[in-house]
Amino acid sequence: MAKGLFVIYTGNGKGKTTAALGMAVRALGHGYPVTVIQFIKGNAHCGEHNLTGPFAGLLQFHVTGKGFTWKSENLDEDIALARTAWEMAARTIAEDKARLLILDELTYLIRYKMVDEDEILSAITGRPAKMNIVVTGRHASDKLIAAADLVTEMTEIKHPYQQGIPAQKGVDF
């Protein structure tokens, strides 16, 4: 029997969400149910949101934030949205609703103390035996890293923004 893994994609480089979504495509290709919960992102439509149609019944996609918190005019509302989204994630884990659960930008909830880290770790480490959980975001905490089975740090070496090239549909969103 395969053991469900806890995977983290962190670091300042691009590609954390992209790597997690690559795992989603792989899991969907095997007919496994996948749930994606995006915590902070939310104010722009991304190409991956269009995947729910072709994979109806297998892919659940939840965009729960309203944009990046550092642009927020109402941090209390952001915290409430993050808390509600975390409750959804905890239910998904407890109810064993997905073979792969992607918690996109979850690291920010811990970094900004929106949700208690020990509560998050308890749910992740107590996941069902076959459930794989992927957490993305910069600044993964030492506790998260210690609990994970696989951690990859994305390191920026060169980025198109540095050359004045804006984010592109199909590549960045």
Active-site entry in 70, 71, 113, 158? 70
- Tokens 């949101």 sit on residue: 49
Three-state SS for 129?
A: coil
Active-site entry in 10, 17, 92, 107? 17
Active-site entry in 3, 12, 50, 156? 12
8 A C-beta contact, residue 120 and residue 141: no
d(CA 62, CA 44): 13
Q: Catalytic residue at 16?
A: yes
Q: Catalytic residue at 26?
A: yes
Task: Of 150, 158, 147, give the one whose Cα is nearest residue 120.
Answer: 147
Active-site entry in 41, 52, 55, 68? 68
Active-site entry in 6, 10, 16, 35? 16
Q: Catalytic residue at 70?
A: yes
Q: Catalytic residue at 105?
A: yes
d(CA 19, CA 7): 11
Active-site entry in 3, 26, 91, 143? 26
CA distances from 54 to 25, 38, 63 (A): 12, 20, 18
Active-site entry in 69, 92, 105, 127? 105
Q: Catalytic residue at 68?
A: yes
Q: Catalytic residue at 113?
A: no
Query: Residue 16: how many CB atoms within 10 A of its CB?
Result: 25
Q: Catalytic residue at 111?
A: no
d(CA 112, CA 146): 19
Catalytically active residues, by annotation: 12, 14, 16-18, 26, 68, 70, 105
